[in-house]
Amino acid sequence: MERSLTHIALFTALIVVLGLVPRIDLAFGVPITAQSLGIMLCGTVLGARKGALAVVLFLVLVAIGLPVLSGGRGGLGLFAGPSAGYLIGFPVAAFVAGLVMERTTLSPLWAGVSGAIIGGIGVLYLFGITGMSIALGKTWVEASYLGMAFLPGDIIKSLLAGVVTQAIATSRPMSLISRA
């Protein structure tokens, strides 16, 4: 009981810290924030249920007014703006990524990559694009063009989510709760 509580809380803290780290520069100099990578890792490392709870806890912190989103953003305004759909989709994305980890027999690397792609791109974009289409008064297809701006970065992050999950599985197999 205590262990699941502290795992959830510490991974919420990890999401926040990955948003604070100035930024992760990729090999060819594209700056991305590692925060959404943290959200994927919640699912792939903690599993569906605990991973989703860690992300819900993160959203609670955003809603009560802590500047925990990357760039020091936070507060209720984010839930009223055009990117609200992405926020609401975050826990579902982590849940789906965790489900792929738990239910497949792929290696942690490929289970992590496919979980992050299905959850962090497939499911998340469904929520995010729907949110933008409502807030910006565009059709779903029109809004999806705007959403595609994030696609290259998110594909790289999905690959990294698999690599990091595999690194944890190799160095500390017992810690990969989604496969325990």
Partner 1 sequence: MLTLTSPIETPLHRVPVGPKLLALLATTCGLYALQSPVALVCALAGVIGLHLPGGPRFWRFALRQLRPLWVFVVIILVWHGLTDEWEAGLTILLRMVTAVAAANLVTMTSRLSDMIGILERLCRPVGAIIPPRRLAMAIALVIRFIPVLSERTNQLIEAFRARSSRRPGWRIIAPAALAALDNADHAAEALRARGGTE
Q: Which stretch binds partner 1 (CB under 8 A): 9-17, 86-94, 104-112, 115-123?
A: 9-17
Helix boundaries (H) for the chain: 2-20, 35-46, 48-63, 84-103, 108-117, 124-135, 140-147, 151-171
Which residues, other chains included, contact 29 with Cβ-Cβ below 8 Å and sequence gap of 6+? none
User: What are the CA-CA distances from residue 134 to residues 76, 80, 138 (Å)?
Assistant: 18, 11, 7
Asked if residue 74 binds partner 1 (CB under 8 A), the reply is yes
Residue 151 burial by Cβ neighbours in a 10 Å radius (0-12, 13-18, 19+)? exposed
Q: Which stretch binds partner 1 (CB under 8 A): 86-94, 99-107, 111-119, 131-139?
A: 131-139
Distance CA 48, CA 52 (A): 6
Of residues 133-162, which lie at the interface with partner 1 (CB under 8 A)?
A: 134-138, 146, 160
- Provide the minimum distance between the beta carbon of 116 and partner 1 in the complex, in angstroms, as a whole number: 13
Query: Does the CA dihedral 135-146-127-160 come out positive or negative?
Result: negative
Of residues 90-129, which lie at the interface with partner 1 (CB under 8 A)?
A: none
Q: Which stretch binds partner 1 (CB under 8 A): 76-84, 85-93, 97-105, 111-119?
A: 76-84
Q: Is 23 helix (H, G, I), strand (E, B) or coil?
A: coil
Asked if residue 25 binds partner 1 (CB under 8 A), the reply is yes
Judged by CB under 8 A, which of 66, 92, 106, 126 binds partner 1? 66
Judged by CB under 8 A, which of 52, 100, 101, 168 binds partner 1? 168
Q: Which stretch binds partner 1 (CB under 8 A): 62-70, 87-95, 97-105, 115-123?
A: 62-70
Rg (CA), the chain: 16
Q: Which residues bind partner 1 (CB under 8 A)?
A: 1-3, 5-14, 16-18, 20-21, 24-27, 34, 37, 41, 45, 57, 60-61, 63-68, 71, 73-82, 134-138, 146, 160, 163-164, 167-168, 171-172, 175
